[in-house]
Amino acid sequence: MRVLSFSLLILLVAACKSEPKNQPETDAPASPMAMSSDTLIYPGEKHFSSIRQITFGGNNAEAYWSFDDRKVIFQSDYGKWGMECDQMFLMQVGETFKDKKPPMLSTGMGRTTCGYFLPDNEHILYASTHLQGEACPEVPLRENGKYVWPVYDSFDIFVADLEGTITAQLTDEPGYDAEATVSPKGDKIVFTSDRSGDLELYTMNLDGSGVTQITDELGYDGGAFFSPDGTKIIFRASRPKTDEDIAEYRELLARGLVQPTNMELFICNADGSGLKQLTYLGNANWSPFFHPSGDKILFSSNFEAEGGFPFNLYMINTDGTGLERVTHGKTFDAFPVFSNDGKRLIFSSNRNNGGNRDTNLFIAEWQD
């Protein structure tokens, strides 16, 4: 899962707070502000000129544009659509799903995550556990009082057409293979695997050949995306340092678990060289995505929160300067993804959910 398991994140509270080294450079109020009565845009969200809500129930996230910006693939567990856990759904841009169900492109078996379009706009890839069984795998929430996230060793990466027919299986190694995204150049896939014994980033060709490990530091490396020109990769990572933290990380990973509460952003070249840490904020910094310029990163963080929430969107330069708060919600904004033409941003949010835990998709017209 490229996400910090978005349905689990809605329950995540009381993350350990560390003193941030990056501070927001913005004139917007630091405290969350209420939504006005006639708009989905909160006060201070100057980068949004308009917002349209797409889904209206359940947990909806990981929405990614086709290369021609005409379609979106996303995952949902909406019970009214008959879902018990996340499956892949297709949206034609311009549609909304208040009174209808989108077409499902996954098998409906097991749990799926991390859908992404291939360059032909007619195929998607996604990770699924369905080869191990039809049932949704169990989702543990706590381990010794701490929040944990399952890393299912039954996840493999598949390709399907827009009728939902699986046309290829890209991974078949034992263990976790998921979180795959495609370079805008259309030549490479980056994904996370624990085949080395740790959760590292790998690249491969579109047909699954040429698998190459590109990270090798202890900790969870995941949620990776290529820059618009395909030359760089942004991702989130944990980096346990103390003997106690290292032992805990390894013990949990041996049982297919990680703790999602302390992550920072890292950036490197597409071959893994030039690795550097981008944020030093503390708490959970994740779901990064490149701004269309390639010079900035949009991401979600709760570093300003004292009790785990809220998660808001922030933007930072690729040299670590210029941190700016983008959204001003009281609960949860995450998974920001720009359209390929750079004009629109799709993201997940708790806004306008009537006070429940539903996480819906929104498309905003972006202005710099």
Residue 207: left (phi > 0), alpha (psi -120 to 50), or beta? Answer: alpha
Q: What pLDDT, on the 0 to 100 scale, is given for residue 12?
A: 40
Residue 317 bridge partners (DSSP): 296
**Regions of the chain with pLDDT less than 70:** 1-38
Assigned CATH topology for domain 6-360: Neuraminidase (2.120.10)
Residue indicated by tokens 């941003």: 345
pTM of the model: 0.92
Share of the chain above pLDDT 70, in %: 89
Residue indicated by tokens 């080294």: 21
Distances 259 to 87, 137, 196, 289, 302 between C-alpha atoms, Å: 23, 18, 19, 22, 15
Q: How far apart are CA 33 and CA 31, in angstroms?
A: 6
Q: What pLDDT, on the 0 to 100 scale, is given for residue 359?
A: 97
Verify cis geometry, omega within 30 degrees of 0, for the bond prior to 310.
Answer: yes
Q: How far apart are CA 97 and CA 81, in angstroms?
A: 11
Q: What pLDDT, on the 0 to 100 scale, is given for residue 183?
A: 98
| 141 φ, ψ (degrees, to nearest 5) | -110, -35
Burial class (CB in 10 A: 0-12, 13-18, 19+), 15: buried
* Closest residue by Cα to residue 302 from 288, 313, 290: 313
Give the number of other Cβ atoms within 10 Å of residue 31's Cβ: 8
Q: What pLDDT, on the 0 to 100 scale, is given for residue 299?
A: 98
Q: What pLDDT, on the 0 to 100 scale, is given for residue 112?
A: 98
Q: What pLDDT, on the 0 to 100 scale, is given for residue 22?
A: 54
The full set of domain ranges for the chain reads 6-360
Burial class (CB in 10 A: 0-12, 13-18, 19+), 174: exposed
Q: What pLDDT, on the 0 to 100 scale, is given for residue 39?
A: 85
| pLDDT tens-digit series, residues 35-64 | 333 489 999 999 999 999 999 999 999 999
Overall size of the chain counted in residues: 368
- Across the chain, what does the average pLDDT equal? 90
User: DSSP characters for 311-359?
Assistant: BEEEEEETTS---EE----SSBEEEEEE-TTSSEEEEEE-TTSTTSS-B
Encoded tokens for 172: 């078949």
Q: What pLDDT, on the 0 to 100 scale, is given for residue 86?
A: 97
Q: Are 292 and 228 in contact (CB under 8 A)?
A: yes
Q: What pLDDT, on the 0 to 100 scale, is given for residue 260?
A: 85
